[in-house]
Amino acid sequence: MDHEDDDPGTSWNERARAAKPDWMSPRMAWRAIQAGLPKEAIISSDIGNNCAIGNAYPSFEEGRKYLAPGLFGPCGYGLPSIVGAKIGQPDVPVVGFAGDGAFGIAVNELTAIGRGDWPAITQIVFRNYQWGAEKRNTTLWYDDNFVGTELDEEVSYAGIAKACGLQGVVARTMDELTEALRKAIDDQMNHGKTTLIEAMINQELGEPFRRDAMKAPVAVAGVSATDMAAE
């Protein structure tokens, strides 16, 4: 399965594919990641649509390999948690995951983790230029419409990583992503280098977190402006 379905009456995913026909979909990116992820790796997840899709992909042969934000669900968890994992388990390869909106909440940590004795990590950012999980909610609530979920397309997270003295790589195809991850792991384990991989993906969106809560707001009391009395 490469692509996400649209709900009846909505066409966001169809339009997202048509807008960027040559770009990876979220599931193509996750398959490319699986091809390059060491089986002993510790991974972290963040809150967002791509990280939620990704929960279907990795499998683990032992416990204590998967860090997730849990029920509080804070965006920005992926990067700091994987840094903590590496400090606790320096001999194990670690890979953090985050969507581009959530990563923006923790991006300042890039200015700190390159310092001398901090261990090297690998971080993958899913670059779809949107707060995707929120867009998914609003397309369902508001008949294929949305507001306030776009991110700045001029911002380069790979560029920010480089400006912080770290390695920053942009991956646009499945082969580029698998290869970038393999090299990043080698650099993490054998050369003490941190790499941020910006995985460029289309804007398709998977299942919402709370499909049961997807009901359009309705007028409950039927209050009219003419009901108001002047004081």
Ligand X SMILES: Cc1ncc(C[n+]2csc(CCOP(=O)(O)OP(=O)(O)O)c2C)c(N)n1
* Least distance in angstroms from the C-beta of 128 to Mg ion: 4
Which H/E stretch holds residue 92? none
- Which pairs count as long-range contacts for 208-213, CB under 8 Å and 24+ apart, including other chains? 208/133, 208/136, 208/137, 208/140, 209/52, 209/133, 209/137, 210/137, 211/140
Answer for which of 128, 178, 194, 195 binds ligand X (CB under 6 A) is 128
CA atoms within 13 A on the CB side of 164: 23
For 43, half-sphere exposure in the C-beta direction (CA atoms, 13 angstrom radius) is 23
Q: Can you state the percent helix, strand and coil of the chain, rounding each to 5? A: 40, 15, 45
- Minimum distance from residue 105 beta carbon to ligand X (Å): 6
CA distances from 148 to 41, 135, 152 (A): 36, 8, 12
Least Å from the CB of residue 47 to Mg ion: 11
Q: Interaction with ligand X in 146-205: which residues (CB under 6 A)?
A: none
Binding mask 80-99 for ligand X (x = CB under 6 A): -------------------x
Question: Is 198 a residue that touches Mg ion (CB under 5 A)?
Answer: no
**Pattern 99-118, ligand X, x by CB under 6 A:** xxxx--x-------------
* Residue 184, binding choice from Mg ion, ligand X, none, Cβ under 5 to 8 Å by partner class: none
Pick what 74 binds: ligand X, Mg ion, none; C-beta below 5 to 8 Å, kind-dependent.
ligand X
Residue 58 or 132 with smaller CB distance to Mg ion: 132
Number of residues that bind ligand X (CB under 6 A): 20
Which residue carries 């997807």 as its tokens? 214
Q: How far apart are CA 48 and CA 101, in angstroms?
A: 8
Q: At what angle do helices 174-190 and 26-36 cross, to 10 degrees?
A: 40
* Residue 139 touching ligand X (CB under 6 A): no
Residue least distant from ligand X (Cβ): 99
Among 37, 42, 47, 200, binds ligand X (CB under 6 A): 47
**Cβ atoms within 10 A of the Cβ of 144, count?**
14
Structure tokens at 193: 């280098």
Minimal distance, residue 219 CB to ligand X, in Å = 26
At CB < 8 A and 24+ separation, what contacts does 58-64 make?
58/34
* Cβ at position 222, least distance to Mg ion in Å: 39
> Does residue 132 bind Mg ion (CB under 5 A)?
yes
The yes or no reply on residue 99 touching Mg ion (CB under 5 A) is yes
The residue ranges that bind Mg ion (CB under 5 A) are 99-101, 128, 130, 132
The residue ranges that bind ligand X (CB under 6 A) are 47-50, 73-76, 99-102, 105, 126, 128, 130-134
